[in-house]
Amino acid sequence: MRRITIWLLSTVAALVLLFSYRTSTMGAGGGTSAIASGSDGPAGSGSSWTGTDDGSGSSSGGGSSSGGSGTSSGGNGTSSGSGTATGSVAQTRWGPVQVRITVSNGKITDVTVVRVPDGNHRDQEINDYAVPILRQEALAAQDARIDTVSGATVTSDGYRESLQSAIDAAHLK
């Protein structure tokens, strides 16, 4: 009889712990976040360019980029100007990822993170490790074709997606 009581109490305790577990896709108070509910996130999450282009070469359909004030110059669609471009928000399984690039003379000189998943302590540990590596790789490659950081696959994918959006907004490559 004693064994049955212990077994029953341990089973109930395990079920209570299992059902009270919350993942990082849940907001404060257990509510579902925009990521888990499938919404697109806040308005204005597209990419934008703020800067200048040198204006050399012929302009072939180089209208202003989405949400920004810069224009593309030259027939090849590349920019040799300076400024900043903010990538679109990449909605990942663990939260939004967004980056901003700084461009000088047509080269990426800095990549800063605007948003990364931060739902729990583990997210922060992963980002503290992965983001500097992703930044270094992006600066070295001058492109969004960078390697995935081991242990941060989801964040790396979102970083690449937002980085490519920022590069497109700045009319690089």
Q: What is the pLDDT of residues 114-146, one digit of tens each?
A: 999 888 899 999 999 999 999 999 999 999 999
pLDDT of residue 42: 40
pLDDT of residue 163: 93
Residue 35 scores a pLDDT above 60: no
Question: How far is Cα 83 from Cα 52, in angstroms, rounded to an integer?
Answer: 6
Helix, strand or coil, per DSSP, at residue 115: strand
Q: Closest by alpha carbon to 90, among 124, 43, 41?
A: 41
Question: How far is Cα 49 from Cα 71, in angstroms, rounded to an integer?
Answer: 9
What is the chain's mean pLDDT, rounded?
A: 74
